[in-house]
């Protein structure tokens, strides 16, 4: 009884008004509202700055915040946050790699949706691999046009700096300084066609990502030679004693250059016809230069090409369109027939079945001789003798006018009056070359030393190397190059 009285006296009973509520001396806690709970979570993350490792987020420059990654970073930065607290937080904004980014954290508590918001400063630190993948996403399948010093054996790896400069245009400053490239096939040769180049993007010691870009050899116009230009032939003699270039011109006759930059006229007595084609036969001291004109065939007296005389007999009275030395024979195409003679022979003989054909081009590719005509398609040799030909309509349509056939490295070029085409599969399929060749009426394409020259009808001369650019204009500007 004494203990009971003691306990009773320890409690003070009071009443409040008429409610009869009994209040003990001990404090009674009032439950927090939903809003207070939301504000409490906000207080825990107040002034929080965090970094997220890139491995926790897929690399993308426009990545939305990943809740799992941010929750983990917040809990690590503030150990007072509970798992229940984190379930009440959602994030919005755009998370950018390697940059401090403001992200809005929205805290929602209770069925009534009491809310509190807080801005978090978050840095997303990409891994080297993610940086490489992000760069790949930006440059994958980029198309690059290169103007290069062509030697005929240009490896893609020789132009690493040029290609990286082009790719850098799609990247941020930080990305430009963060990566390097290697070529999966560094010895791959450049061609004038748009070709796939496989590269490896390298970032840091371990970040690597393979990508595909497209690179093409880009022709650059170097000489505007006047209006209504007709370019038919350019010849490089290249003997032991000289490396001369000859260019035939309409009305202006024949021009010669010893340096590939400046040209001077060659005086040929009795040459009144237009120069359609120029070709060399033989080599070194035995080399002779043949000139096909609208009034017959001319030949030089020696390898220097300083003196010429007219060839007598058929087909010397005809309009000569093309001349080719193939094996031990000389072939001559005219506007009315196709002729040949043995190199040491004295007379030209007609090819059966082609006496009325207007011959535009003669070319040996591998073991076959191709003959292109004006509006009558393509002929191909039937055997190794090179004296019997038949139609090759399965390769080129019969009604196509062919102006040039040229194989440079592994690419076959076919020029027509409507466009320039190329084939990388030995003539099985052809594709049109576009780019900055302003005229599609192609008249000639020649590889001379480190350059590829492309002649056109009405738009002058183009060359793949722009190093000697406008130097031709002074000598040939007002002439028709043929």
User: Do 41 and 140 lie in a common domain?
Assistant: no
Segment 90-125, tens digit of pLDDT: 988 887 777 788 888 898 998 888 888 888 888 878
User: Do 239 and 190 lie in a common domain?
Assistant: no
Helix count and strand count (H, E) for the chain: 8, 33
User: Do 116 and 162 lie in a common domain?
Assistant: no
User: Do 103 and 140 lie in a common domain?
Assistant: no
Residue 5 lies in a domain: no
CATH number at residue 357: 2.130.10.10
How remote is the C-alpha of 318 from its chain's centroid? 45
Q: pTM for this one?
A: 0.43
Q: What φ, ψ does residue 288 adopt, rounded to 5°?
A: -130, 145
Q: What letters, b where the CB count within 10 A reaches 16 and e where it falls short, cover 318-353?
A: bbbbbbbbeeebbbbbbbebbbbeeeeeeebeebee
Residue 97 lies in a domain: yes
User: Do 173 and 241 lie in a common domain?
Assistant: no
- Other beta carbons within 10 angstroms of residue 149's beta carbon come to 14
User: Do 198 and 94 lie in a common domain?
Assistant: no
Residue 461 lies in a domain: yes
Q: Which residue has the higher pLDDT, 403 or 250?
A: 403
User: Do 157 and 48 lie in a common domain?
Assistant: no
User: Do 252 and 348 lie in a common domain?
Assistant: yes
Whether 75 has a pLDDT exceeding 90, the answer reads: no
Q: How far apart are CA 40 and CA 32, in angstroms?
A: 10
How much is the pLDDT for 287? 82
User: Do 306 and 347 lie in a common domain?
Assistant: yes
Whether 468 has a pLDDT exceeding 70, the answer reads: no
- 465: CB partners within 8 A, 6+ apart: 147, 148, 149, 150, 220, 450, 451, 452
Run of H or E including 77: helix 67-77
- How does DSSP assign 430-460, residue by residue? -EE--SS-----EEEEEEETTEEEEEEBSS-
Do the Cβ atoms of 248 and 254 come closer than 8 Å? yes
Q: How far apart are CA 353 and CA 389, in angstroms?
A: 8
Give the domain range for residue 184. Answer: 129-217
Q: How far apart are CA 134 and CA 170, in angstroms?
A: 12
Q: State which of 160, 188, 217 marks the end of a domain.
A: 217
Find the mean pLDDT for residues 301-321. 80
Residue 320 lies in a domain: yes
User: Do 423 and 319 lie in a common domain?
Assistant: yes
Number of domains in the chain: 3
Q: How far apart are CA 317 and CA 280, in angstroms?
A: 20
Find the mean pLDDT for residues 419-423. 70
How much is the pLDDT for 57? 67
Nearest-5° angle of CA 451, CA 453, CA 458?
155
Q: How confident is the model at residue 55 (pLDDT cuts 50, 70, 90)?
A: low
Residue 429 lies in a domain: yes
Residue 211 lies in a domain: yes
Q: State which of 157, 188, 217 marks the end of a domain.
A: 217
Residue 19 lies in a domain: no
User: Do 136 and 98 lie in a common domain?
Assistant: no
Residue 20 lies in a domain: no
Q: How far apart are CA 85 and CA 38, in angstroms?
A: 9
Whether 340 has a pLDDT exceeding 80, the answer reads: yes
CA terminus-to-terminus distance, the chain: 134
User: Do 378 and 230 lie in a common domain?
Assistant: yes
Q: How far apart are CA 306 and CA 212, in angstroms?
A: 52
Q: What φ, ψ does residue 390 adopt, rounded to 5°?
A: -140, 165
Q: How far apart are CA 470 and CA 229, in angstroms?
A: 16
Highest mean pLDDT among 250-264, 318-332, 367-381: 318-332
């Amino acid at each position: 009884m004494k203990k009971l009285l003691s306990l009773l006296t320890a409690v003070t009973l009071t009443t409040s008004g008429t409610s009869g509520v009994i209040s003990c001396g001990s404090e009674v806690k009032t439950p927090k509202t939903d809003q207070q709970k939301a504000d409490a979570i906000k207080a825990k993350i107040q002034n929080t700055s965090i970094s997220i490792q890139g491995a926790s987020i897929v690399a993308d420059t426009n990545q939305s915040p990943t809740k799992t990654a941010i929750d983990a970073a917040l809990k690590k930065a503030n150990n007072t946050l509970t798992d229940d607290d984190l379930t009440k937080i959602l994030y919005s904004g755009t998370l950018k790699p390697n940059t401090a980014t403001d992200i809005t954290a929205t805290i929602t508590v209770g069925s009534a949706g009491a809310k509190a918001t807080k801005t978090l400063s978050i840095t997303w630190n990409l891994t080297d691999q993610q940086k490489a993948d992000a760069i790949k996403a930006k440059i994958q399948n980029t198309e690059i046009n290169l103007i290069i010093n062509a030697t005929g054996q240009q490896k893609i790896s020789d132009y690493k700096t040029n290609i990286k400069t082009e790719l850098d245009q799609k990247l941020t400053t930080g990305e430009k300084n963060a990566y390097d490239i290697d070529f999966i096939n560094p010895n791959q040769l450049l061609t004038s066609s748009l070709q796939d180049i496989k590269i490896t993007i390298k970032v840091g010691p371990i970040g690597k990502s393979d990508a595909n870009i497209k690179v093409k050899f880009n022709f650059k116009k170097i000489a505007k030679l006047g209006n209504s230009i007709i370019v038919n032939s350019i010849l490089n003699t290249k003997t032991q004693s000289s490396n001369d270039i000859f260019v035939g011109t309409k009305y202006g006759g024949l021009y010669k250059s010893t340096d590939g930059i400046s040209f001077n006229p060659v005086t040929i007595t009795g040459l009144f016809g237009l120069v359609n084609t120029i070709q060399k036969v033989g080599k070194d001291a035995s080399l002779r230069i043949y000139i096909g004109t609208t009034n017959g065939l001319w030949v030089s007296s020696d390898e220097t090409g300083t003196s010429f005389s007219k060839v007598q007999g058929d087909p010397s009275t005809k309009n000569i369109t093309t001349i080719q030395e193939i094996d031990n024979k000389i072939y001559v195409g005219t506007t009315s027939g196709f002729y040949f003679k043995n190199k040491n022979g004295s007379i030209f003989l007609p090819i059966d079945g082609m006496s009325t054909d207007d011959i535009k081009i003669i070319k040996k590719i591998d073991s076959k001789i191709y003959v292109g005509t004006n509006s009558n398609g393509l002929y191909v040799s039937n055997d190794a003798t090179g004296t019997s030909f038949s139609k090759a309509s399965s390769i080129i349509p019969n009604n196509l006018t062919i102006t040039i056939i040229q194989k440079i490295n592994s690419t076959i070029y076919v020029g027509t009056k409507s466009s320039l085409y190329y084939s990388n599969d030995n003539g099985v399929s052809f594709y049109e070359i576009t780019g900055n060749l302003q005229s599609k009426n192609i008249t000639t394409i020649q590889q001379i030393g480190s350059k590829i020259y492309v002649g056109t009808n009405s738009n002058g001369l183009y060359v793949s190397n722009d190093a000697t650019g406008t130097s031709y204009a002074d000598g040939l500007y007002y002439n028709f190059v043929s």
